[in-house]
Amino acid sequence: MSVKAWIGGCLSAGAPAAGAAWFTVAAQGPGAHAVCGPDLGRDEVVAAKSQGVAVVEAVENARYREEGGSAYLTTRVKTLDTLKGEFGAALDVTQGVKNGGAPGRYATGDPDRYAVLEPGSQYVIAVQSGSTTGTAGTEAWAWYAEPAQRGLAGEREQWKQVLATGPEDPVTGGCEDVSAGSVGEQR
């Protein structure tokens, strides 16, 4: 059986904390597999399962580190619009990246739903854990980051509508059997 796993962690006051996980495991039948964790390819699921959602501008990549076989990038961001939860005016956001990164050359396994925060660009981020207050020495774990392609007003409208309506299907964090063609297609 083949296994593809991506595991991230977060930092809070310099200590490792619980992080996000996304697992895809091949199943017995052709074209089917199990997905564990929420489907972050659906905005309504991102909104429902996240501690906070905001439109931010990346200011600077402040720190990169590798630990336990994983790599982490902490980026200082400026909050442009809070869509869910509470966010300080500026805060440090940590995300998992591929090992061996260098300034301007960081990458993730899924750039469509988990873009690397590049200074000078705007993003919609969803925080799974950590502090969003911006207090010195704290960090938030972003498990979702997407370029703000609709502009600030467009993202505000999109996410306010998503937050108001919620997901049509129950949102669980458990495993679901899905067909190979359905993963990541819903948006």
Q: Where are the alpha helices (DSSP H) in the chain?
A: 43-49, 151-165
pLDDT for the residue 6: 32
SS3 158: helix
Q: Alpha-carbon distance 106 to 120, whole Å?
A: 15
Chain segment 3-40, per-residue pLDDT in tens: 333 333 333 333 333 333 333 333 334 444 444 566 67
* CATH class of the domain whose range is 39-169: mainly beta
Domains of the chain, by residue range, sit at 39-169
How large is the average pLDDT for residues 109-113?
79
pLDDT for the residue 172: 54
Tell me: pLDDT of 81 over 90: yes
